[in-house]
Amino acid sequence: MRKILLILFITVPALLWADKDSTNVYQGFSGGMMVHTGYLFGQDPNAPRNAEGILCSPQGASFGIGGALRVNLFKHLRVGGEGAVSTMPSSTTDCHKRLQSGSYIRTGWGGVLADACWRCDKVWPYIGGVIGGGAMRSLYLLEGNENDWIEEDHALFHKQSFFFVEPYVGLDWCMSQKVHLTFRFDWLVALHRQSLVQPTGPRLYIGFMFCH
């Protein structure tokens, strides 16, 4: 699966680059911000166990924000970069009764992107991917209170860096020539020492892109 994603990420932009239908290489640029939500799942083998010996490996809703900047080339090709941060608080997971308030899993990532975009009047569908790196930070509070200044005896903090490939599909609705409302669906496939970084899952984005 990972090899297929890498092949698509490399070959699709190459094919689009060969498209000479447009006489001008540069076709403008776009950039903006997006908020997102998603559902992450999968067990973290490094997660701690609570006093009853139950593994606290949260899965649930995640929320965050990010941004992207693209340069439009030829007729369909867009290249650029993006970054985002996504947080899954314990209150939105299946472990909300076993983890104390203040626990979370936070993922930050960034990389280079390439996608194919078809300009169909006011609706612009697109498909592409991002490749880069990031880190996942996990804080598990098994006892205590986040609102005091007392040291917690039973807590765990872990940071894990990763390499990722992130395929996505989306749709721009052209509110005007310079402002687009964008919707996007993606899946972050993160790897650390050849193992899949958990939790993982789909995310849905919505935001505004400003075009020139």
Which of these, 194, 186, 163, 193, lies nearest to 86 by C-alpha position? 186
Q: Which domain holds residue 168?
A: 2-211
Q: Distance between CA atoms of 34 and 49, rounded to whole angstroms?
A: 35
Q: Distance between CA atoms of 132 and 109, rounded to whole angstroms?
A: 7
Which CATH number do you get for residue 159?
A: 2.40.160.20
Report how many domains make up the chain: 1
Q: 14: which 2 tokens?
A: 């190459």
Q: What pLDDT sits at residue 4?
A: 45
Whole-prediction pTM: 0.84
Which of these, 65, 63, 62, 43, lies nearest to 54 by C-alpha position? 43
Q: Distance between CA atoms of 34 and 91, rounded to whole angstroms?
A: 23
Query: Mean pLDDT, 10 residues at a time, over the chain (212 residues)?
Result: 49 48 76 97 79 81 97 93 97 90 94 94 95 95 79 86 97 94 97 91 97 88
